[in-house]
Structure 1
């Protein structure tokens, strides 16, 4: 049975009634998937739409059977418990089967984005001691370029139709030869064994390896059941690539625990918002989660052309939601957008849950089981209205899904685990109602003439202007103010850079927010520097401007 959903009417009741505990030796693939498939084998699990629009439907029995088959196939190929396996696949069916198979085998998947260069692959393979790569055919050539300098690689599995280089195993061939029975043994993985490793985005410095144990999967139960507000039979779409943590937040553990069907659109190439709306309309998506950037593109379309009548609940995460986007989406669809906040190192920490009234721009209140507090630079708890760092109290019975540490980097782990708290490095403030308001990374805050200015609030004001598609706000050296606010702006196609437009944007910000926050410097660019996960690299912009004064 799906997780029995409680229906708290207030936030207090949510905290008092919803909890997560991890049974000893818990393993999602055995304890949830196989158990559920045995009890209800035909329960819908996934709707998969490929790049050509072809639809396939899969039930729980399929994933139980195929993950057992591939666990045997990977074992026969030489993989064993503890081996690290880079998985570079698009949103194709084999990603889910592979992840579950590795969970059963105990080999440790390292989900990786398909945009990795040969240099990226070389770095990650050698740093993590990766033994195997399971890769999309379109990525194989880049793996081949890196392969000569990756001595730990001994197992290579090719997925797709393109010709296969020498030394690779074909996914379908090894699948066909393997048994679909993979019994759980006494030494089967689970509990405090490593479940998976994420490489962090690396907005500053080289990416770190974030290690999660098997309890992490259960930590996503509140994500699917309570934040996404899923019911059995829901068709849930989270817009996320499989190389990043958001995929397991929104396309895997919590959604299946809630009884929902995971909806996957495996589009390739450039994202087109009209195509997404057509897909959602045609296949009757009921619940939807996407980063605010996607919502910004969607509200520029004529939403009335699409039948979104099946859609009943919307969420967002990954960056901060601007007030204008929230109001425009609600005006057109009638649905508010419920924000959530977490990190690669955590599960959902803070969110606006169904029992709460959304406040546009607020990330919400702490999730059940998470001991969240704001600390100032001296380690004191911040009262309402005072900004501080989001920190997590490290009690043994709370924070299910908090990472075990940065693999192979005990000093970095110790640098964020201080005096009984995990320090997220993110700044926020809390209002009198207990809602949190995100300000940005601690390094991103701008100190100008005694004011502390969060980049998000200025970016939010900028993108309400029709000329602005994206904006990154940073500080530049200023001999009088210490720092001045600078905006790096990407314009909509119908607008051209000019001094007049820069002045117009400055005046617009003065009207939208406190006048002292307006950008005294505006640079127009074709694109913003971003990590391969799509996060703005404000540190790179700051580095370019380090010797610049206004």
Structure 2
């Protein structure tokens, strides 16, 4: 089993059918890739990479922005038997360097527009090399197996250090329950995704699943003002649209939206953040379209959702997709004891789930700690109701959700604490309004009452991706702590 081959050939699409459209401002068509041309280009990249000094299974760090080069490099690496590492174009040099060092990547493939790490002993290939890779003579898909590594993504760890999540070749086919359990997708669909390629949400919902169903993926590369999206959905004839709840909220606030808008759209898809019931109702009322939510994570993709076959209960992400083994375990026992009735507990997925990661990269102890017996703990708390719907009740740890990205407060705190004007700092996500939380830094200045917040924000901008940076800075005389000295983030959130 090879993930790239599964995505590009499992639906046996007509080679001449459009697989990928890249559109710009005003819906202008910039690039069109048929399934035949896309497959050839992917196999060219695969062959070109095989001609280097890489060995099968070697990691390749991708520093490529939002262009067609990203999917060609990502799927080309997998097709060649290598392990790509997608990264956000927003990462700073130090953040990218940390991932490079941790992953042991042998190569850095970049487009000339992203910030680069110090490559060290890794081979650095830029835009010219990308052109040469795409022009290589196409080869064959690597004969990998279901449990062989396919790709490595980095996510925030509870320790504040990003950790690699290693996925197997089977990860794509394991997403089948989502086809009817969330999307309701078919070969005639045109799916427009609003996210960046490096994000697992976009990789899956924007590329892997449309192609595995012979559908067309529509990718937008242009200004991202919220009022542009209604016309963009219309101009691209999108039948499905995927985004985070915060973008749907901004579309409703700034865009001209009526039931006559985007006439080809059947329904919207949302994940990455909890969907407030009020936002769902407003979208439903103003557009006349359904909005189906899914709950998932980098380690497994989505496993709970509503869909055309699972009616929405506003405020709930839905039910387990068909075939998924999901449970809620007691928070009071070390052994996996399912809770009863509507009791809140720890949301868990069975280790037999084929979409579950192979493990955390080079973190055997942390991988083992994520399980209770045969159950993988997602880190989320939830309950069920009498109809089998799940209700999200927040995180069991301190990880923050910043517009769909999970961010560890410790990582942000470590950067801010390096500024000499900071004596102590604690970071947490503080509710701003319903469904919106802002990363907030609570700072104890080194000199009482003196803090240059602009200087501190500039320091954060040099060392943190934009989505990790605090949006609010507040000065405190001291941080609230437990008797054992641990910062009480809940007090900061509640007393902001």
TM-score, structure 2 length as denominator?
Answer: 0.79
Q: Distance in 2 between matches of 1:275 and 1:44?
A: 24
1:283 Cα deviation from its structure 2 partner: 1.5
After TM superposition, give the deviation of residue 470 of structure 1 in Å: 3.5
Residues 367, 343 of structure 1: alpha-carbon distance in 2 compared, 3 angstrom cutoff: same
Give the match's secondary structure for 2:311: coil
Distance 1:473 1:112, change over 3 A: closer
Aligned residues: 433
Deviation at 1:123, TM superposition (A): 0.8
Distance in 2, matches of 1:367 and 1:536, equals 35
Cα distance change on mapping 1:308 and 1:36 into 2, 3 Å: closer
Q: Please give the alpha-carbon distance, in whole angstroms, between the structure 2 residues aligned to 1:419 and 1:261.
A: 41
Q: Is the 8 A contact 2:190 2:216 kept in 1?
A: yes
Contact map agreement 2:165 2:361 (CA 8 A) in 1: yes
* Residue of structure 2 aligned with 1:90, choices 47, 62, 65: 65
1:142-163 per-residue CA deviation (whole Å, 9 max, x = no partner) reads 31xx32xx43312x2223xxxx
SS at match of 2:70: helix
* Shift in Å, 1:222: 2.6
1:244 to 186, 199, 212: 199
Q: Distance in 2 between matches of 1:77 and 1:42?
A: 31
Q: In the alignment, is the contact (CA less than 8 A) between 2:277 and 2:315 conserved in 1?
A: yes
Please point out which of 375, 387, 404 is paired with 1:421: 375
Pairing of 1:147-546 with structure 2 (within 5 A): 147=118, 150-154=119-123, 156-159=124-127, 169-176=128-135, 178-180=136-138, 182-184=139-141, 188-202=143-157, 205-267=160-222, 271-300=224-253, 301-304=255-258, 307-377=261-331, 378=333, 379-395=336-352, 399-444=353-398, 459=431, 463-464=433-434, 470-472=436-438, 532=465, 534=467, 545-546=479-480
Mapped partners of 1:421, 1:317: distance in 2: 23
Query: d(CA) in 2 for partners of 1:433 and 1:59?
Result: 43
Matches within 5 A, 1:58-97: 58-97=33-72
Query: How many Å separate the matches in 1 of 2:437 and 2:5?
Result: 45
Distance 1:119 1:197, change over 3 A: same
Q: Paired residue for 1:18? A: none
Q: Kindly state the Cα deviation for residue 367 of structure 1 after the two structures are TM-superposed.
A: 1.4
Which residue does 1:512 correspond to in 2? none
Cα displacement string for residues 152-203 of structure 1 (whole angstroms, at most 9, x for unaligned residues): 312x2223xxxxxxxxx53113433x112x1346xx2232110000001346
CA 1:442 to 1:115, structure 2 compared with 1: closer, same or farther past 3 Å?
Answer: same
The runs of 5 or more residues in structure 1 that have no matched partner are 1-25, 160-168, 446-457, 477-524
Aligned to 2:113: 138
Q: Does 1:124 align with 2:124?
A: no
Q: SS at 1:48's partner residue? A: strand
Shift of 1:79: 2.6
Decide whether aligned partners of structure 1 residues 31 and 335 sit closer, same or farther in structure 2, where only a CA change above 3 A counts.
closer
Query: Partners of 1:367 and 1:545 in 2: how far apart?
Result: 43
Unaligned runs of 5+ in 2: 400-429, 443-456, 482-490
Closer, same or farther in 2 for the Cα pair 1:106/1:473, shift >3 Å?
Answer: closer
- 3-state DSSP of counterpart to 2:150: strand
**CA spacing shift, 1:429–1:184, aligned 2, 3 Å:** closer
Question: Any idea what the Cα deviations from partners look like across 1:317-336, whole Å, max 9, x if unmatched?
Answer: 00101111111110111112
Change beyond 3 A, Cα 1:121–1:31:
closer
CA distance 1:49–1:424, shift in 2 (3 Å)? same
Q: Distance in 2 between matches of 1:337 and 1:305?
A: 14
Hey, what's the Cα distance between the residues in 2 that align with 1:387 and 1:103? 40
Gap change, CA 1:433 and 1:353, over 3 Å in 2: same
Q: In the alignment, is residue 109 of structure 1 matched against residue 62 of structure 2?
A: no
Distance in 1, Cα, partners of 2:125 & 2:24? 21
The runs of at least 4 aligned residues of structure 1 exceeding 6 Å deviation read 528-531, 535-538, 540-544
Q: Secondary structure at the match of 1:170?
A: helix
After TM superposition, the structure 1 stretch with the greater mean CA deviation from structure 2, 406-415 or 371-380, is: 371-380
Structure 1: distance between partners of 2:126 and 2:260: 38
Q: Indicate the RMSD between aligned Cα atoms, in angstroms.
A: 3.3
Larger Rg: 1
CA distance, structure 2, for counterparts of residue 203 and residue 54 of structure 1: 42
8 Å Cα contact 1:203-1:535 kept in structure 2: no
Distance, in Å, in 1 between the alignment partners of 2:475 and 2:275 is 23
CA distance in 2, matches of 1:267, 1:223: 29
